[in-house]
Chains A and B, each alone.
Chain A
Amino acid sequence: MPRLLPPSEHMEGMVKMSQLKRYSELIQLSSFDDRYNYLRLKGQVGEDTFGFDRYLNQMFYTSTEWKQFRNYIITRDNGCIMGLSDYPYARGDRIVVHHMNPLNKDDIIHSSDFLMNPEYAISVPDWLHRAIHYNLDNVSFEPKLVTRYPGDTCPWKGGH
């Protein structure tokens, strides 16, 4: 009878250890470029992930558990891109919680550890998420410094 492994051990065994990306490793890197390069996926664009089982993907991303997890990750990253404190999200940025190790349908069916373990997730803006998945070179970004003023988050006090 095969030895049953807890999900994390089992799933990590399926990904070569050198390829496994972790939040605890990512935050050791201090620059935007280093973190981006760590997260870049070297896979082929158009590689089959969910195929005709995309309904699983949709069910997962609309679940309450996922929404709670998403809030947790954005808060953990302190409202900053890839957790970099000098890169806060700009107004209007669409925030995406990125699975650092790509999911497939088995991950959802078997609730693998990659699904909602904070160790394998990071928040990024949508444009950067696309760059990570398309493995783009030369992605650089300088945050715009915003001058804050009292009431700037309050619409009836002149804010937005």
Chain B
Amino acid sequence: MESILNSVKKIVNVSLEDDSFDQDLIIYTNTILAVLTQMGVGPVEGFVITGEEETWDDFVGDDIRIQLIKTYVGLRVRMMFDPPTNSSAVQAFDNSIQETQWRIYAMTNYGGWT
């Protein structure tokens, strides 16, 4: 089972062995998980990570649509933790986030997220 923190570290290009940024990444990740809770994804009471123990399965079970959630969390944390300096890259990331967010909304509102 894949750790949420380790997935995020991979997307923001931080080595899994390097724990220098773990506290920052945990805070940013929990922020996005709270956003997802508001969007209707995951446990109703909310979900937080404290380290690398929490897995995606703990958050949303083994639903195959989890890939969309991983992408969303990764991209949003990347934009908070280490945004690109290039404006075209920022725009591309923002557009991808908006599209992913819309698709998650579509799933939770019309697809019946389980």
Chain A: residues with CB nearer than 8 A to chain B?
Answer: 68, 70-72, 74-75, 78-79, 85, 88-95, 146, 148, 152-153
Contact = CB atoms under 8 A, between A and B. Distances in A.
A70 B92 contact: yes
A75 B96 CA distance: 7
B50 to A, nearest CB: 25
B86 interface: yes
Interface stretch (B33-41, B56-64, B77-85, B102-110): B77-85
A72 B85 contact: no
B89 A79 contact: yes
B96 A72 contact: yes
A88 B85 CA distance: 8
Interface residues of B, number: 18
Chain A interface, DSSP helix/strand/loop, else mixed: loop
B75 interface: yes
Contacts of A148: 82
In this complex, which of A70, A78, A88, A146 has the most chain B Cβ atoms within 10 angstroms of its Cβ?
A78
Contacts of B114: none
Nearest to B90: A153
A118 to B, nearest CB: 13
Given A78-B13, A79-B89, A95-B89, A71 B84 contact: no
Contacts of B13: 78, 85
B93 interface: yes
Contacts of A85: 13
B96 A94 contact: no
B83 A89 contact: no
B20 interface: no
Contacts of B93: 74-75, 79
B95 interface: yes
B67 interface: no
Contact of B85 (A68, A78, A146): A146
Contact of B75 (A75, A92, A152): A75
A154 to B, nearest CB: 10
B82 A89 contact: no
Given A78-B13, A85-B13, A90 B86 contact: yes
